[in-house]
Amino acid sequence: MEDDEDCPPLAVELPAQTTSPPVTAPSSASAPVGVTVITGYLGAGKSTLVNYILSAQHGKRIAVILNEFGEEIGVERAMINEGQGGALVEEWVELANGCVCCTVKHSLVQALEQLVQSKERMDHILLETTGLADPAPLVSILWLDDQLESSIRLDSIITVIDAKNFRQQIDEHTNSSSFPEAFHQIAFADVVILNKIDLVKDDLEDLEKQIHDVNALVTVVRSVRCQVDLNTIFDRQAYGTKNSSQLQELLEYSKSVPPNSRHDNSISTLCISEQDPVHLAKVESWLEDLLWEKKSTMDIYRCKGILHIHNSNQLHTLQAVREVYEVVPAREWSEMQSRMNKIVFIGRNLDISVLQDSFGRCKH
């Protein structure tokens, strides 16, 4: 039996509490709470995944936020405070296993602030998107928002895919210039859960290859009814500097992906590399030209990389989602390690010669 995405998650079927969590000042010594964004095409199994996590015996206090922002509502609208008369945050629903659930209709920032300031501190927050083509508008709130950056950290973006219908979605758009939500969600994902594999008779390796053709950096996890090892969900720190070694492995893998290995010659993953050190200020200017000025026909969704910076013994990591980017020192280069720059781009109409030539100018 296939998942019914029209049914609300188990969490919101439970009786609601009439009181909100008490608000206290968070401890400055507390580590930021990780936030995982869960997205996916209608019917893929997002709610099934949330219910599985909420019912599992993991010993964590987890908060689930059901985000009802529509596609037409951007970051600016999400951060509007409607004043004292506005119902900013819905009632929280307390669950038996120590988790809570809330449906947010107005201010996502306010909901997150309530969670991190609550007396019973959360271990992790899940944000399930509804009616959102891609999670990119949420990234500037969750990743680098001044109000939240000391309280939360964007842990990862997880996309749930219906393995049974994914091939049909690919076939329908092979010769089209339009792209279904599923492909955007893959492009922004850190983890793809390939769900309903019990309903697929075809070669699953081929399905995974098509996913990696869109996003060579993504981790693919197979599942039936989204029953996955929760270690694939929690504490991935995809936007932190903790796992720079894993990032290097991903970059090395994606470098081996041929430039023409892509979905309908438009959405693809490309990798560029440069051995000579680059100037940090020139790299930032280069990124701003690519991501902000958009002087070319390239549409860059994401990029990740490691940088060899002039006059620095620190390995720097680069992360970007749409117009938001960050370059930070991660750790010292090891003596056994070859110092070089490696950057992976995920997007549409990528031109490897333009990317290589323009980045090369950051050396001088």
Which of 42-51, 102-111, 190-199, 324-333 has the lowest average pLDDT?
A: 102-111
pTM score, whole prediction:
0.77
Q: DSSP labels for 304-348? A: EEEEEBTT--EEEEEEEETTEEEEEEEEEPPTTSPP-EEEEEEEE
- Answer whether 340's CB lies under 8 Å from 275's CB: yes
Give per-residue pLDDT as tens, 258-271: 544 333 446 788 88
pLDDT at 185: 84
> How many residues does this entry show for the chain?
364
Sketch the domain layout of the chain as residue ranges. Answer: 4-232, 244-363
Q: CA–CA separation, 151 vs 145, rounded Å?
A: 10
- Answer whether 278's CB lies under 8 Å from 361's CB: no
Mean pLDDT across 344-358: 90
pLDDT at 19: 35
Per-residue pLDDT at 145 exceeds 60: yes
Detail the DSSP E strand segments found in the chain: 33-40, 62-67, 93-94, 100-104, 124-129, 152-162, 191-195, 219-222, 267-274, 299-308, 314-321, 324-332, 341-348
pLDDT at 246: 56
**Winning range, highest mean pLDDT, from 52-66, 247-261, 290-304:** 290-304
Backbone phi and psi for residue 218, each to the nearest 5 degrees, phi listed first: -75, 145
Q: CA–CA separation, 333 vs 315, rounded Å?
A: 6
pLDDT at 178: 54
Give per-residue pLDDT as tens, 310-334: 999 999 999 998 888 999 998 899 8
Residue 117, H or E segment:
helix 108-117
CATH architecture of 244-363: 2-Layer Sandwich (3.30)
Per-residue pLDDT at 7 exceeds 70: no
Closest by CA position to 24, among listed 94, 121, 105, 125:
121
CATH superfamily of 4-232: P-loop containing nucleotide triphosphate hydrolases (3.40.50.300)
